[in-house]
Amino acid sequence: MPAINRRSFLGAAGVTVALPMLESVSSASPEIAPNELTANIADAPAKRLVCVGSNLGFYRKAFYPEQTGKDYVTPELLTHVDQHRSDYTVFSGLDHRAGNGHGNWDNFLCGPKIKSISLDQIVAEQVGHLTRIPSMQLCAGGIPNQQKVSYTRRGVPLPMTQRPSVVYKKMFSSKENRARTDYLLRSGQSSLDTVLEEAKSLQKTVSAADRKKLGEYFSSVREVEKRMTRQLAHLADDVPEIEYQLPQYDPIAPTLMIEAQEIMYDLLAIALQTDSTRVATMFLAGLGQVFTLDGVTLRAGYHALSHHGGDAEMIRDLVKVESEHLKCLNQFLTQLKTKTDADGQPLLDSTIVLFGTGMGDSSVHSNADTPTLVAGGGFDHGKHIATDRKAKDAHLLGDLYITLLNQLGIEADSFANANRKMDI
Amino acid sequence: MNTRLYLKVVAVALFSCAITTGAEKVPGPQYQFVQTYCTDCHDADTNEGELNLDHGQFDWNSGKTLKHWEDVYTMVSRGMMPPEDSDQPTAAERAILLSWLDQQLFKHNHIGGTPMRRLNKREYLNTVRTLFGMSNFELPGSFPQDTESHGFDTMGEALVISPSHFEAYAETATNIADYILPPAQAEQKPKSWTVTPQDMAISYSSAYIIDGAMRLASGGATATRNASWPTKFEAPASGTYKITLTLSTKNPPEDELPQFALAAQASERNGKERLLKKFDVQSGNAQTFEIEADLFQGENLLFRYPNAPLDYEQASYKDFLIKELTKNPKIAAAWKKVGDVPRGGNGWARVKKQMENPDLDISEFTPGSEQIKKVAASIFKDKVKSGETIVYKYFEEGPNIGIHQVKIDGPFQLIEDQNSVRQKHTSKKFLGKVVSEPSDQSLEEFLTRYLTSAFRRPASKPEVAIYTALVNQQLASGYRLEDGLHLAIRTSLLSPSFLYRERGRGELDQYELAARLSYFLTSNAPDAQLLAHAASGDLSDKDILRTEVLRILKNSAIKKQFASDFTSQWLDTNLLDNLMPDPALFKKFSDKHRATMKAEVESTFQEILEKNLPVTDFIDPDFIYTDKIIGKEIYELAIAAKTKSSKFQRYDIPRGTKNGGVLSMAAVMMATANGVDTQPVLRGVWVMENILGTPPPAPPKAVPALPPEVDGSAGPRERLAAHTTDASCARCHREIDPLGFVLENYDAIGRWRTNYASKGKKKGPAVDAAGTLPGGTKLEDVTDLKKWLVEHPEYFTNCIANKLLTYATGRPLNFRERKVIEAIAAKNIQQGNHFQDLLLDLIDSEIFKAK
């Protein structure tokens, strides 16, 4: 595709980031060699990043306070997290200047160019190697075909897990599973020994160009060997003993979305506490389901409510549904406040929770002015920071992402179309 | 055997020649040229374009030297250097430099140079499917994408292996080994589930709970809008289950009993529905139905009311509405009164409230009245929105089916689902006797056979011994034979002998040749017959090689795949999948249209190949493949518009028109635009690269793109004028832009236009499609370009030959190789310019056969 590359090359020439263009793919391992790790993790105030995005967004008038600064009157949706008021900041008027429609939802963590590396994966590249699971991609509710949250540097969307039982297995595999993983890893090591020997024997018969290729092969095998050794070590020592009871069924039915969300947050909190991972995303995949809240079955599906067209009754029910998301978030923040890290400090103090959406107003499919909330991570919280989108020097959502990256010890001057760090 | 020996000698000779040539002096006249015209900028100080020519001698063994001098050759021969504003050499001076360079570059470049090449993603998938007989096997979603280079995904240099690749290979290898030798499964004991209405799903307005039962009231096809299902059940194992349903109906229609349909579907809801049973539900008390049904692992139940009178997904919804509004004119009056009725039950409650309003005037809404029809039409207009609302009437009043409870017990007897039957068959066929009749001998036989097909060459005795030891080592540690084979399979799939092909320098050996030919034409490993020829050592024999190519291409599926794999990359039509044209250009553009456009490219390629037509038929054929819609809407073909059938087919067309050939195809015009408007620069570059075979040099670094057109007042020529005023841009853009302008008559989806679109009703400015060829030949529009290309077949013949061999060999072809291709192309043109002949000559060339 030479013709097209040429133009995009010209366009991107000014903003090249000094990161390798290697293939990066699986949720298993972001592609970055240890000598390219530029983050100063040890001294960073924040150590972990959780990004939660809601498919249908939030009703802005119930999400945004009318006043800015610290003394705002709590808007309806935020009453559910008000107990953590001093631990979060709410942002209005931010977005990526991306296109509109459901298809452009993916700009949430990518910026206006979908398939650009997402915020979480930038972080995973830097800290993923430190934990058993480099990063996790979760989903509550069914997965609509189009939307994706995380993209690798190569533009590969990472698959999301919607079954809590699968997440659970990955985090705390059963004895039988562990035995099999152990077997696969150990026998896998003799696999690698065998192919390494073979590759070594080839070295005599190759050309100079081949030798470079074999070099790639050797370093890949050795890196995978290291990862296997690390996994084996984790298998032996680190599998946390936890008492958490999953339901007998996987809540993948769309009407069980809230239940799924609660469980996923629980698992996430445990994953962070046990340092099984430091980077996670969760997609709140609501669409057509009709919820039963406090014993009352609503009289329209979530999607229908989101197309409220300004109707007061529809908005009332929509806010009821959205309140459930905030209640779940509240429980999650409470857990992060209660659980402590290795130093005995609340997890929340060193965990950034980004709560937002790629959709600004789903009633008209607008992706502008997306409701955003940032909790934890050692910031001076408790405020409403409003941005006037029409102002010439208006901050972009990417400016906030730069701030988050810096807080995690990652040097970044720009994120997508943004290049001005934003003060919190 | 003789020819092979001879070629080996030649290869050795070339190699030794490369060693003996070292640093060489630039002879006097050429050195003077360089000093006079080049070193002002290209010396150590200025080092323009990181090119320093200010040396008296050069080491021709260095790849850098070759590249630099080749750049010089290109720039000087095409008049791009020296720059316009500097002193210009005479034609004779140019010739002195160029003829010397021509000789030097030919002498110092050598045929070959593909590095060890790993299988790309397509090849890898096809290869494992064939190797294990798993035609449905899919790669994990996280499997890495390949990097393209020089337009193709087969290029050795770009096919890197990183740790992520290796992890993906290891994961895939374990999946494959698990499929062939599945780990033991835990036993499933029967369980019991009681599903109450609270544990059934409501999606959009598919169902609603009233009076303790989940009500179904619409019969549309979309499950998410018309069905309900248990939220906390899925079959834990494939087996027989007892299903007990308690159902009732409210206000059933008089003429037909409501039918309840029980179906099964994968619980992720991504597969097909399987009908299990239908029940007639009588009015009166709730009835209990009991059936035994087979459910496959992971399946859930699905509940439907298929013969519900309301089906808001069909056109018949309108008549239904007229009937209902006639029967109850209050609905019509109230609906109109509410105006914009919200979706769902809230909306229906709003309508009902109005119906109870004593002041509601229904006098206009008499049977058969225009008013009834008008309201029905307005409700019908947004079917889904109003359907999601009005269905609540039937949830409340009927006709509906109520599901009171569903009980599921099982599995009582385990069954084999299709997947496990297929799995067992595949596994048995693959393993043969090795597990059923284990012995040292059967193990050795199995490993010899398997490794030979995995490595695409005979497995050596030491290799078989290594894998035998691997299996025995598992047995010695107390594992089963199956575990040992599992490990052997996993290991072989990580081996460089499986992952890579072609190694070393010189001529491909017979097995490597078989693989190169097979991956070129089929993107898959060589079949038994190719390997047999490799074994007998006669594959590089001219006649046998030709016979084999024609045999492989006889298979129509393979030919189609080859056409698709090659053309989609050569012509960039693989970009189509990511493009969505502006609705202003094409309303409701769908995958079907996209598929037709791509199929045109592939079918054209196949026809020219199969019938051995002239290569120039790619440019100006007397036929076109399309269907009625694209033929009519985009190509404005009268003959397609007249056709009754909507099928994709071949039409005869006159030559020399705006239709037909790769320069007129919708797929190409769409791929070289952005879905909204055209960009002459992109198309100009595309023509130079893919049709003329004279790609422009890489653009300088850090040049900003031209500002996008904001107000629509400037035409493309005005916007691109900056390219010709700046000397450094003009050097290439005076070749690129005019070629792009020639295609301006095609809009962003390939439809012919004489005026640009404008926002108002008035016509936009007229399209000026005049342009020039790099040599200065004037062109009125695209038909002139096509005519010129047919009259000068060497350009396009050379170009497509280069593309084919680049794709096949996985290396950018060097100066010498391009000269060899020029000779092949010239001979081909002399002999009638037939495409199949060209392909055969290319495959029979030393370039194709060199590592």
Q: In this predicted model, what pLDDT tens digit does every residue of A285-340 receive, in sequence order?
A: 988 889 999 888 998 899 889 988 889 999 999 999 999 999 999 999 999 999 99
Say what the pLDDT of residue A24 is.
23
Chain A residues in contact with B174 by the CB 8 A cut-off are: 184
Phi, psi of B295, rounded to the nearest 5 degrees: -120, 140
Residue A155 has pLDDT above 80, yes or no: no
Quick check: B348 and A29 CB within 8 A?
Answer: no
Sign for the CA dihedral angle at A144, A145, A147, A149 comes to positive
In a domain, B851, yes or no: no
Instruction: Say if residue B223 is in the same domain as residue B304.
Output: yes
| B555-572: average pLDDT | 95
**Percentage of chain B lying above the pLDDT 70 cut:** 94
For chain B, the residue count is 851
Count Cβ atoms below 10 Å from residue B285 Cβ, excluding itself. Answer: 6
Chain B residues in contact with A301 by the CB 8 A cut-off are: 202-205, 343-344, 388
Greatest Cα pair distance in chain B: 110
Say what the pLDDT of residue B100 is.
86
| A83-104: average pLDDT | 90
Say what the pLDDT of residue B823 is.
96
Instruction: Say if residue B140 is in the same domain as residue B87.
Output: no
Q: Which of B106, B107, B99, B109 is nearest to B27 (CA)?
A: B99
Residue A33 has pLDDT above 70, yes or no: no
Collapsing DSSP to helix, strand or coil, B714 comes out as coil
Say what the pLDDT of residue B417 is.
78
Instruction: Say if residue B781 is in the same domain as residue B648.
Output: yes
Q: Which of B135, B627, B659, B215 is nearest to B404 (CA)?
A: B215
Q: Which residues make Cβ contacts (< 8 Å) with residue B19, sequence separation at least 6?
A: none
Q: Which residues make Cβ contacts (< 8 Å) with residue A159, sequence separation at least 6?
A: A27, A137, B141, B142
Say what the pLDDT of residue B184 is.
74
Instruction: Say if residue B612 is in the same domain as residue B571.
Output: yes
Start-end of H helices in B523-644: 528-536, 542-554, 556-570, 591-610, 628-633, 638-642
Distance in Å, alpha carbon of B653 to nearest chain A alpha carbon: 30
Q: Which of B60, B85, B108 is the last residue of a domain?
A: B108
Tell me the C-alpha to C-alpha distance, in Å, between residue B508 and each of A245, B446, B820, B848: 61, 28, 18, 9
- What's the pLDDT band for B83 if we cut at 50, 70, 90? confident
- What's the pLDDT band for B711 if we cut at 50, 70, 90? very low
State the helix-helix crossing angle for A312-338 and A257-273, rounded to 10 degrees: 20
Q: What is the pLDDT of residues A248-292, one digit of tens each?
A: 899 988 899 999 999 999 999 999 998 889 999 999 998 888 999
- What's the pLDDT band for A17 if we cut at 50, 70, 90? very low
Measured distance CA(A187)–CA(A178) in Å, rounded: 14
- What's the pLDDT band for A62 if we cut at 50, 70, 90? very high
Sign for the CA dihedral angle at B57, B62, B68, B72 comes to positive
In a domain, B518, yes or no: no
- What's the pLDDT band for B704 if we cut at 50, 70, 90? low
Count Cβ atoms below 10 Å from residue A355 Cβ, excluding itself. Answer: 25
Chain B residues in contact with A314 by the CB 8 A cut-off are: 342-343, 346
Say what the pLDDT of residue B141 is.
67
In a domain, B770, yes or no: yes
Say what the pLDDT of residue A178 is.
76
Say what the pLDDT of residue B16 is.
38
Instruction: Say if residue B80 is in the same domain as residue B128.
Output: no
Instruction: Say if residue B828 is in the same domain as residue B767.
Output: no
Quick check: B205 and A142 CB within 8 A?
Answer: no
Say what the pLDDT of residue B20 is.
44
Are B625 and B649 in contact, with CB atoms under 8 Å apart?
A: yes
Quick check: B208 and A220 CB within 8 A?
Answer: no
| B127-153: average pLDDT | 87
Instruction: Say if residue B593 is in the same domain as residue B721.
Output: yes
Say what the pLDDT of residue B660 is.
95
Residue pointed to by tokens 């010439």: A392
Name which of A360-369, B526-535, B600-609 the model is least confident about: A360-369
Instruction: Say if residue B205 is in the same domain as residue B180.
Output: no
Question: Structure tokens of B166?
Answer: 């290796």
Instruction: Say if residue B718 is in the same domain as residue B800.
Output: no
Quick check: A23 and B160 CB within 8 A?
Answer: yes
Q: Which of B388, B414, B440 is the last residue of a domain?
A: B414
- What's the pLDDT band for A7 if we cut at 50, 70, 90? very low
For residue B671, what is the nearest residue in chain A, using CA coordinates? A4
Residue A15 has pLDDT above 80, yes or no: no
Chain A residues in contact with B166 by the CB 8 A cut-off are: 220-221, 223-224
| B87-103: average pLDDT | 85
Say what the pLDDT of residue A38 is.
75
Distance in Å, alpha carbon of B88 to nearest chain A alpha carbon: 30
Q: What is the pLDDT of residues B30-48, one digit of tens each?
A: 888 887 888 778 887 777 7
Measured distance CA(A261)–CA(B718) in Å, rounded: 56
Per-position b or e across B651-678, b if 16+ CB within 10 A of its CB: bebebebbbbbbbbbbbbbbbbbbbebb
Measured distance CA(B548)–CA(B532) in Å, rounded: 11
Q: Which of A400, A398, A409, A407 is nearest to A15 (CA)?
A: A398
Say what the pLDDT of residue A8 is.
28
Are B272 and B202 in contact, with CB atoms under 8 Å apart?
A: no
Collapsing DSSP to helix, strand or coil, B679 comes out as coil
Question: Structure tokens of A172?
Answer: 């705390």
In a domain, B128, yes or no: yes
Chain A residues in contact with B141 by the CB 8 A cut-off are: 159
Are A324 and A308 in contact, with CB atoms under 8 Å apart?
A: no
Cis peptide before B82 (omega within 30 of 0): yes
Distance in Å, alpha carbon of B163 to nearest chain A alpha carbon: 4
Say what the pLDDT of residue A14 is.
26
Are A388 and A91 in contact, with CB atoms under 8 Å apart?
A: no
Nearest to B231 among A207, A219, A253 (CB): A253
Say what the pLDDT of residue A146 is.
65
More confident residue, A316 or B187: A316
Which structural domain, as residue segments, surrounds residue B282?
191-309+399-414
Instruction: Say if residue B91 is in the same domain as residue B125.
Output: no
Q: Please give the helix or strand (H or E) that residue A216 lies within, else none.
A: helix A208-233
Are B659 and B633 in contact, with CB atoms under 8 Å apart?
A: no
Mean pLDDT estimate for chain B: 89
Chain B residues in contact with A2 by the CB 8 A cut-off are: 150-151, 572, 685-686, 689, 695
Say what the pLDDT of residue B783 is.
95
Say what the pLDDT of residue B760 is.
64
Chain A residues in contact with B198 by the CB 8 A cut-off are: 292
Q: What DSSP string runs through A361-394?
A: BTTTTB-SS--EEEE-TT-----EEE--TTSTTP
Quick check: A26 and B496 CB within 8 A?
Answer: no
Q: What is the pLDDT of residues B487-516, one digit of tens each?
A: 999 999 999 999 999 888 899 999 999 999
Residue B265 has pLDDT above 90, yes or no: yes
Collapsing DSSP to helix, strand or coil, A359 comes out as coil
Say what the pLDDT of residue A171 is.
78
CATH at B287: 2.60.120.260
C-alpha count within 13 angstroms, C-beta hemisphere, residue B663: 34
Residue A383 has pLDDT above 80, yes or no: yes
In a domain, B341, yes or no: no
The pTM (predicted TM-score) of the whole model is: 0.72
Quick check: A288 and B504 CB within 8 A?
Answer: no
Nearest to A180 among B183, B342, B347 (CB): B183
- What's the pLDDT band for A30 if we cut at 50, 70, 90? very low
Count Cβ atoms below 10 Å from residue B400 Cβ, excluding itself. Answer: 28
Chain A residues in contact with B686 by the CB 8 A cut-off are: 2-3
Could you tell me if the ipTM is greater than 0.90? Answer: no
Quick check: A207 and B388 CB within 8 A?
Answer: no
Q: Which of B453, B472, B501 is the last residue of a domain?
A: B501
Nearest to A288 among B162, B204, B340 (CB): B204
Measured distance CA(A366)–CA(B701) in Å, rounded: 36
Count Cβ atoms below 10 Å from residue A161 Cβ, excluding itself. Answer: 21
Query: Of A339-343, B511-515, B632-636, where does the model show the most confidence?
Result: B511-515
Say what the pLDDT of residue B701 is.
57
Measured distance CA(B765)–CA(B767) in Å, rounded: 7
For residue A158, what is the nearest residue in chain B, using CA coordinates? B142
Residue B694 has pLDDT above 80, yes or no: yes
In a domain, B351, yes or no: no
Say what the pLDDT of residue B13 is.
37
Tally of domains within chain B: 5
Q: Which of B776, B663, B778, B684 is nearest to B736 (CA)?
A: B684
Are B307 and B258 in contact, with CB atoms under 8 Å apart?
A: yes
Instruction: Give residue B580's identity as a one-letter amino acid code.
Output: M
Instruction: Say if residue B157 is in the same domain as residue B17.
Output: no
Instruction: Say if residue B824 is in the same domain as residue B742.
Output: no
Residue B666 has pLDDT above 90, yes or no: yes
Tell me the C-alpha to C-alpha distance, in Å, between residue B597 and each of B3, B663, B742: 45, 13, 21
Q: Which of A197, A204, A302, A198 is nearest to A256 (CA)?
A: A302
Beta strands A48-54 and A351-356 are parallel
- What's the pLDDT band for B281 if we cut at 50, 70, 90? very high
Collapsing DSSP to helix, strand or coil, B409 comes out as strand
In a domain, B291, yes or no: yes
In a domain, B467, yes or no: yes
Measured distance CA(B785)–CA(B791) in Å, rounded: 10
Residue B2 has pLDDT above 70, yes or no: no
Name which of A168-182, A194-208, B151-165 the model is least confident about: A168-182
Are A272 and A260 in contact, with CB atoms under 8 Å apart?
A: no
Measured distance CA(A58)–CA(A306) in Å, rounded: 9
C-alpha count within 13 angstroms, C-beta hemisphere, residue B20: 7
Query: Of A123-137, A218-232, B641-655, B831-845, where does the model show the most confidence?
Result: B831-845
